[in-house]
Structure 1
Amino acid sequence: MWRFLFAGLPLNERPSSLVVRPSGCPGLLRVVQALDGGICRIKLDGGFIQADQAEAVASVAERFAGGMIEATNRANLQIRGIGPGHDALIEPLLAAGLGPRKPAGDDVRNLMLSPAAGIDRQMLFDTRPLAAQILVTLQTHERFHELSAKFAVQLDGGEALAMLEHHHDLWLSALLCNGEPWLAFGLAGTPLDTPVGRVPLAQGHALVVAVLELFLDLARPDQNRMRHLLADVSVDEFMARLARRVPLQACLDWQRDASSDGLHLGVHPQHDDRVYVGAAAPLGRLDAVMLRGAAQLAREKGDASLRFSPWQSLLLPNVCRADADQVLARLEGLGLLGSNDQPLAQLIACTGSSGCGKALADTKADARQLAELLQRRGQTLKVHLSGCPRSCAAAHVAPATLLAVAPGRYDLYFRDATLPGFGALQAHNLTIEALGHWLDARPRSPLDA
């Protein structure tokens, strides 16, 4: 959506401010080393990317990383496995308009939307204009560059296709009061939580600015997330201070409807007479051929844009109904997953020991083994395979988690809202085959998709 100010300048002629602050998180301007090479994270505005931009990512990935691309659970893209001499990788991405408005604003472009923003049949209003305003402010308001690279905001328009389980430092969710658009909001949680207040839609930008400035006023240097601050400052105190900066109203008896499961895959109607078509990257991984093919398909059959989702999938919006089946078939022909009936489409796996020094197992390979086992059994299960307790691949607790304890061996947990972490331990030191035997003894379990 927005062009990078220095995109036309060679790297050696850009301002010294291109040196971004130290962080363990990769960014567009900061390649972070992992076991399998460097990682460059490309933050997409609301998950949206134009076809020509996607082709630029594919070309850069081929040239510098063997074509390895990841779709993240924050609807961004990563180029992974980058070799030495990666400085030249950044220039084509900036030239394609994938950089921030200001160099120091790269880390803070953390605003999640529904991948169906503006086209969802259930949306209460189009969140894209407000999102554009917020993203510009995040990048250009110098004080906001002090925020952690993990500090995140969610803007929910009431869409049926919405990730409502990822925790955000500030969330805003659409509601109607007497036919007028408002935003309920909450701190350090999700739109499924009880909101702490509401403001008219026209005050949404002012609210975001006020919350973030107040957070920076109150937080110590070691408190880089809203939940850290609220451990010291009560919500009531925070809200009392916030009310002095922006008019607030109570939000009584409002509850966000749950989103509809599975709408990120397959063909689904938009609010107009067109459809969007969704397909998932297997275990979050694409190659350059997949991404380039999807971009070309979006140009031929859609509006020349793609939308990435927090389910590590992509959407082609604004497709004619008559073309929908062909579009889905071509996406599947590229190696993407177009149906929830495919076991691999229900599995999440982190990078694993093939690319991460902290992982205790090769989770990607083990996930594929699990998918093959489930395919033979005619099952689809919702399982997250994590190589270590950090849970990098899942921003929320999955119904079931296999936590690696050794190569090829996992502890099995079921989600339990009353317990911290992954939930309740069900079995210890399972191989993938042993998990199949464990399931045979339990015809139904929380793993069932």
Structure 2
Amino acid sequence: MSGDLLNQPFSAHQPPAPLRPSGCPGLLRIVQAKDGGICRIKLAGGAISADQADAVAAGAEHFSAGEIEATNRGNLQIRGIGSEQAGLIQMLLASGLGPRDAAGDDVRNLMLSPTAGVDPLMLFDTRPLAAQVLESLETTPRLHELSAKFAVQMDGGEGLAMLEHHHDVWLSPLRLDDEIWLAFGLAGCPADDSPLGAVPLAQGHELVLAVLNRFLDLARPEQTRMRHLLLEQSPTDVVAGLGLEVRADSSVLQWRRKTTTGGNYLGSYPQQQAGMSAVGGAAPLGRLSPGMLRGAASLARTWGDGTLRVTPWQSLLLPNIAQCQVDTVLSELAQLGLLCSADEKLARLVACTGSDGCAKAQADTKGDARLLATLLASGAPASVHLSACPRSCALAHAAPATLLAQSPGHYDLYLRDAGRPGFGSLRARNLTLKEAGALLDARSRSTLDD
């Protein structure tokens, strides 16, 4: 973050109007919602220091209703902000959470695995390359023309990685001739899509910049996402104009990212480093109180390396915990109110803001999710998503089961179907929560599970 940015008055923090305007909140652009202002703090690869977490907690206490959300892109946001916005922004900038350049705040959309650099299955540490890409995004004026929704995913082969979120550009490692290459795709995700090509790892930064500039060369202002451009341009044409030697033989085009089944973001996750583990707990329904965040930060200082990572599953992960201290940290996280086991029913429920905070919402999804958890039979259900409207703000991919609100306390039930877009196949209409719980209990875990 630039010292000049911190020392400027609040009015100077406002970035120039982007070519592709967006209503998305940022650190410097607080967007109004039904429950007050929203300030979104974009974290570098989901990482935040304990001191910075304390600053977010203090900011939420002093300038808002005290609601902090962990987002499904590994960021944090403060809700319910009142009229005194300048003080909150100054506090966050002083903690080092702002961009190097005000105009670069919107485009810091780069998602990594929460176990980048420590995962035992990783093929390379994505963090140095991610730092290069983020610096370019923040400091290159032309890249500030990108939409605030335009996003890049970088995967290092980790066992704990969100592979289902669609991104405008995704990168994932593969071995070719005993070397690490980066396979890449556009407007998709490594869980579902085959790559368009690959470049040597050393060219990763150059590849990302080439793709972003190619998009800006071809896209009209109203085409804010890569998927919009690909309605008119073929992916092959986009790749052909990158100016790079892209490898696209059968060994690349037929490669698929291996998905893992054992990566658990709750509880203890073994690290590559001997005797160390990462320890995680979920924010209930994505919400953190200042006390929860501050308490987790204190644990990271005491037992870890003084950092936390926010995951795409709306949870916190504390890396570099000695194995002998894992149980202590898990116990303390649970006492703070975080969910540290998948056996807890609420840990498998996802809900958007709902009618308390969103004018478009058809139901109180947060409250309904808590009630639904009490109605489900013992044993955790598979992942269930409660969405207050069709926009699906709480989840960036289709859940095994989705309850779409139709009116207060009434939902349509969808089950994920690879052959259908959106939420999947409609199975029942206008269910009460009691009826929805009975239907979900009747489904086998294998049918609904991730």
| TM-score, normalised via structure 2 length | 0.95
The residue that corresponds to 1:180 in the other structure is 179
Q: 1:330 to 1:254 in 2, by over 3 A?
A: same
Q: Give, in whole Å, the separation in 2 of the partners of 1:415 and 1:356.
A: 25
Three-state SS of the structure 2 residue aligned to 1:377 is coil
Tell me which amino acid in the other structure corresponds to 2:285.
L
C-alpha displacement of 1:442: 4.6
Tell me if 1:112 matches 2:111: yes
1:246-285 correspondence runs (5 A): 246-250=244-248, 251-260=252-261, 262-273=263-274, 274-285=276-287
1:71-86 correspondence runs (5 A): 71-86=70-85
1:416-435 correspondence runs (5 A): 416-435=417-436
Q: Give, in whole Å, the separation in 1 of the partners of 2:190 and 2:446.
A: 27
C-alpha displacement of 1:447: 2.9
C-alpha displacement of 1:271: 0.3
- Kept in 2, the 8 Å contact 1:4–1:94? The answer is no
Tell me which amino acid in the other structure corresponds to 1:71.
A
- Kept in 1, the 8 Å contact 2:33–2:358? The answer is yes
C-alpha displacement of 1:363: 0.2
Q: Give, in whole Å, the separation in 1 of the partners of 2:298 and 2:49.
A: 11
Counterpart selection for 1:354 from 353, 356, 360:
356
The residue that corresponds to 1:377 in the other structure is 378
Tell me if 1:297 matches 2:299: yes
Q: Give, in whole Å, the separation in 2 of the partners of 1:423 and 1:108.
A: 31
- Kept in 2, the 8 Å contact 1:20–1:30? The answer is no
- Kept in 2, the 8 Å contact 1:350–1:364? The answer is yes
C-alpha displacement of 1:443: 5.0
Three-state SS of the structure 2 residue aligned to 1:49 is strand
Three-state SS of the structure 1 residue aligned to 2:318 is strand
Three-state SS of the structure 2 residue aligned to 1:446 is helix
C-alpha displacement of 1:253: 2.9
The residue that corresponds to 1:155 in the other structure is 154
- Kept in 1, the 8 Å contact 2:381–2:440? The answer is no
Q: 1:128 to 1:98 in 2, by over 3 A?
A: same
C-alpha displacement of 1:175: 1.2
C-alpha displacement of 1:130: 0.2
The residue that corresponds to 1:412 in the other structure is 413
Tell me if 1:28 matches 2:59: no
- Kept in 2, the 8 Å contact 1:5–1:102? The answer is no
Structure 2 residues without counterparts, runs of 5 or longer: none
Q: Give, in whole Å, the separation in 1 of the partners of 2:427 and 2:2.
A: 50
Percent identity at matched positions?
63
C-alpha displacement of 1:15: 4.4
Q: Give, in whole Å, the separation in 2 of the partners of 1:77 and 1:94.
A: 14
The residue that corresponds to 1:237 in the other structure is 237
The residue that corresponds to 1:44 in the other structure is 43
The residue that corresponds to 1:213 in the other structure is 213
C-alpha displacement of 1:11: 2.1
Tell me which amino acid in the other structure corresponds to 1:276.
A
Structure 1 residues without counterparts, runs of 5 or longer: none
Q: Give, in whole Å, the separation in 1 of the partners of 2:399 and 2:14.
A: 40
- Kept in 2, the 8 Å contact 1:363–1:385? The answer is yes
Counterpart selection for 2:370 from 368, 386, 390:
368
- Higher mean C-alpha displacement, 185-194 vs 280-289: 185-194
Q: 1:281 to 1:30 in 2, by over 3 A?
A: same
Three-state SS of the structure 2 residue aligned to 1:188 is strand
- Kept in 2, the 8 Å contact 1:27–1:40? The answer is yes
TM-align CA RMSD: 1.5
- Kept in 2, the 8 Å contact 1:163–1:259? The answer is no
Q: 1:443 to 1:229 in 2, by over 3 A?
A: closer
Q: Give, in whole Å, the separation in 2 of the partners of 1:443 and 1:124.
A: 36
Q: Size of the alignment, in residue pairs?
A: 443
C-alpha displacement of 1:261: 5.0
Three-state SS of the structure 2 residue aligned to 1:233 is coil
C-alpha displacement of 1:382: 1.1
Q: Give, in whole Å, the separation in 2 of the partners of 1:232 and 1:299.
A: 51
Three-state SS of the structure 1 residue aligned to 2:228 is helix
Q: 1:249 to 1:89 in 2, by over 3 A?
A: same
**CA deviations over 1:330-349 (Å, ceiling 9, x no partner):** 00110000011111111110
